[in-house]
Amino acid sequence: MRHWLSSALWFASPFAVLIVLWAVLIPYLDVNPRLFPHLTSVVEAGIEGIQDGTLIRHVGASLLRVAVGTVLALLIAIPLGVAMGVSPIVSGFLTPLFRFFSVLAGIAWIPIATLWFGYGFGAITFVIFNAVFFIVTYNTLLGVSTIPLQVRNAAASLGAGRWAMLTEVLLPGALPNIVTGIRTGLGFAWRGLIAAEMIATNVGLGYMLFVARDFYKTEVIVLGMIMIGVLWLLLDRLVLAPLERATIERWGMVQRT
Amino acid sequence: MKDLTIRNLSKTYFDPYAGTNVTAVHDVSLKVEQGEFVCIVGPSGCGKTTILNMIAGFIPHTGGEILVGGRPVKGPGPDRGVVFQSFALFPWRTVLENVAFGPKMRGVRKVEREKIAHEFLALAKLTEAAGRYPNELSGGMQQRVGVVRALANEPDVLLMDEPFASVDAQTRMTLQEELTRIWQEKRPTVIFITHDVAEAVFLANRVVALSKGRVLEEIDVDLPRPRSWDALNDDARFKELSGRVLQLVRSA
């Protein structure tokens, strides 16, 4: 527990330095608030946003889109990746395709998404879906195909049928890659989300930032940027990293980073 | 436990590099009685692992037949337990769950299969390691798990593919002694593949010398049991038998 606390403090310390510099330097240099806000006005904007519910509404909309897009993507990507990974021919054939779509940035889908779904929830969720879907499918496929043949043979000679092979060997065997895929995919999805919200909606963190610019409300812009960063850190540190630790690091299938 | 009969077994495959058909196993016949311990010994590339993979059902044979308890082999199955050189444990399962895997596949209830697993772990002196994951164990301990995982499923035949080749020499000797002890206690039918002549003679009732995909000779090993390296290292009969097998394998 002490170790956890000290590492959390160590993690927070550079941010503390940055905040102190901000609080001291901006007033000292007398920076125009239209270019960069004071710390106090950002805090006030944050309190105000919570009190009148707008901040909650924007954050809620963004998180909901990420959650829906990600869950839908995982539900399809993992079974598909496993099915493809089982057959070396199918996986060899489809791998280049999935690699291509994995590196194709999520935002690149925005124009076509708005044509298909119109502005709003559908288009943005589609962008999230794509960011997660291709990477997770590709990683699942990779994970399944890297399970040693002997391990699959061992399961077969211990009496594992098709279903047991899937649930007892292929899925857990591919899990390190799947978790990596989810982490990378969500990273892309989060970036794509903000970009998409600037273009294709009227609610969400990205929208909040973009609209604030029109009114020179730099305190809202910076508040939004901080929220984007903090939410991602919380998601990664409190959900994804512990998930990785609890499973695959314990099994010795990846090295601690 | 049942007997194993191999009749005129052969394996021919197409070698894409040479552009021709290659015969890896040529007309091999072998009869292993119930409860017998047979070692197949030969140099790398003599076809011994191919034979084992065909018995296990991992690869199809192209000629002859393989019968376990009179029934022909079609693909892998729990009647033939396999111990791999690479251990092939499930890294995401604890030692206990690895050993309980076979019974679980047979539909044995959790309480019951864990009892079975604990019993077999005790047999290999692994009780302490039950809750650990394979990556937390040494190579020697991992292979102990590999052996009891196969045994806990009560196969008719136990197939062992150079199981001790990737552990250090001292550990290997201990594992060999333990294997003879476990074999005497459970009396499984065993086919053990190795390139190590001393290992083959130490473990087996019968050694089958193999070269270039053909059986050269079968040699009965009449050494008394229980066997230990302390007793056999300077044993005249052990040396004589090892010498004969070595000569066979080298002359071919």
Q: How far is CA A50 from CA A43, A47, A55, B63, in A?
A: 11, 5, 6, 77
B76 touches chain A (CB under 8 A): yes
A124 in helix, strand or coil? helix
pLDDT digits (tens, 9 = 90+) for B123-148: 999 999 999 999 999 999 999 999 99
Whether residue B226 is preceded by a cis peptide bond, meaning omega within 30 degrees of 0, is: yes
Q: How far apart are the two ends of chain B, measured CA to CA in Å?
A: 34
Taking phi first (over 0 means left), then psi (-120 to 50 degrees means alpha), and beta for anything else, what does residue A118 get? left
Q: A63 and A227 in contact (C-beta within 8 Å)?
A: no
Give residue B16's pLDDT: 86
DSSP track, B102-125: HHHHTT--HHHHHHHHHHHHHHTT
In a domain, A8, yes or no: no
A167 touches chain B (CB under 8 A): no
Give residue A8's pLDDT: 84
Give residue A254's pLDDT: 59
Q: How far is CA A214 from CA A103, A211, B100, in A?
A: 32, 5, 65
Give residue A257's pLDDT: 40
Give residue A239's pLDDT: 84
> Looking at chain B, which residue has its C-alpha nearest residue A176?
B92
Q: B73 and B67 in contact (C-beta within 8 Å)?
A: yes
DSSP track, chain B: ---EEEEEEEEEEEETTTTEEEEEEEEEEEEE-TT-EEEEE--TTSSHHHHHHHHHTSS--SEEEEEETTEEP-S--TTEEEE-TT----TTS-HHHHHTHHHHHTT--HHHHHHHHHHHHHHTT-GGGTTS-GGGS-HHHHHHHHHHHHHHT--SEEEEESTTTTS-HHHHHHHHHHHHHHHHHH--EEEEEES-HHHHHHH-SEEEEEETTEEEEEEE----SS--HHHHTT-HHHHHHHHHHHHHHHH-
Residue type, B139: G
B252 touches chain A (CB under 8 A): no
CA distance B30 to B191: 11
Enumerate the residues of chain A whose CB falls inside 8 A of the CB of residue B75: 156
Q: How far apart are the two ends of chain A, measured CA to CA in Å?
A: 20
The shortest CB-CB distance from A250 to any of B84, B86, B133 is to: B133
CB contact under 8 A, A154 and B106: no
Q: What is the pTM of this model?
A: 0.84
B29 touches chain A (CB under 8 A): no
In a domain, A72, yes or no: yes
In a domain, A28, yes or no: no
CB contact under 8 A, B84 and A154: yes
B88 touches chain A (CB under 8 A): yes
Tokens of A94: 């489809």
Q: B203 and B192 in contact (C-beta within 8 Å)?
A: yes
CA distance B93 to A169: 10
In a domain, A138, yes or no: yes
Residue ranges of B 149-188 with Cβ closer than 8 A to chain A: 149-150, 153
Q: What CATH number does the domain containing A135 carry?
A: 1.10.3720.10
**A88 lies in which domain range?**
58-251
In a domain, A80, yes or no: yes
Give residue A92's pLDDT: 84
Strand B20-32, strand B71-72: pairing: unpaired
User: What are φ and ψ of residue A99, in 5° steps?
Assistant: -65, -45
pLDDT tens by residue, chain B, 252 residues: 688 999 999 999 888 888 888 889 999 999 999 999 999 999 988 899 999 999 999 999 999 999 998 899 999 999 999 999 999 999 999 999 999 999 999 999 999 999 999 999 999 999 999 999 999 999 999 999 999 999 999 999 999 999 999 899 999 999 999 999 999 998 999 999 999 999 999 999 999 999 988 999 999 999 998 899 999 988 999 999 999 999 998 887
CA distance A61 to A54: 11
For residue B197, give how far its alpha carbon lies from the nearest alpha carbon of chain A (Å): 25
CA distance B26 to A128: 58
CB contact under 8 A, A161 and B105: yes
User: pLDDT averaged over consecutive 10-residue blocks of chain A (257 residues)?
Assistant: 82 91 89 88 91 92 94 94 86 86 81 89 92 93 91 96 93 90 90 88 90 89 92 88 77 59
Give residue A256's pLDDT: 43
Nearest to B192 by CA among B147, B236, B159: B159
In a domain, A101, yes or no: yes
Tokens of A190: 């989060």
Nearest to B106 by CA among A159, A168, A155: A159
In a domain, A14, yes or no: no
**Nearest-5° Cα angle at A132, A128 to A136:** 170
CA distance B60 to B76: 10
Distance of CA A142 to the CA centre of its chain: 20
Enumerate the residues of chain B whose CB falls inside 8 A of the CB of residue A159: 77-78, 102, 105-106, 153
CB contact under 8 A, B88 and A251: no
Number of domains in chain A: 1
For residue B107, give how far its alpha carbon lies from the nearest alpha carbon of chain A (Å): 10
The shortest CB-CB distance from A164 to any of B105, B136, B150 is to: B105
ipTM rounded to 2 decimals: 0.92
CB contact under 8 A, A151 and B57: no
Residue type, B159: L
Tokens of A81: 């990746």
In a domain, A195, yes or no: yes
Q: How far is CA A87 from CA A95, A144, A146, B2, in A?
A: 12, 10, 12, 34
Nearest to A178 by CA among A139, A133, A142: A139
> Looking at chain B, which residue has its C-alpha nearest residue A175?
B92
CA distance A14 to A140: 36
For A87-99, b/e burial (b = at least 16 CB within 10 A) is: eeeebeebbeebe
Give residue A105's pLDDT: 67
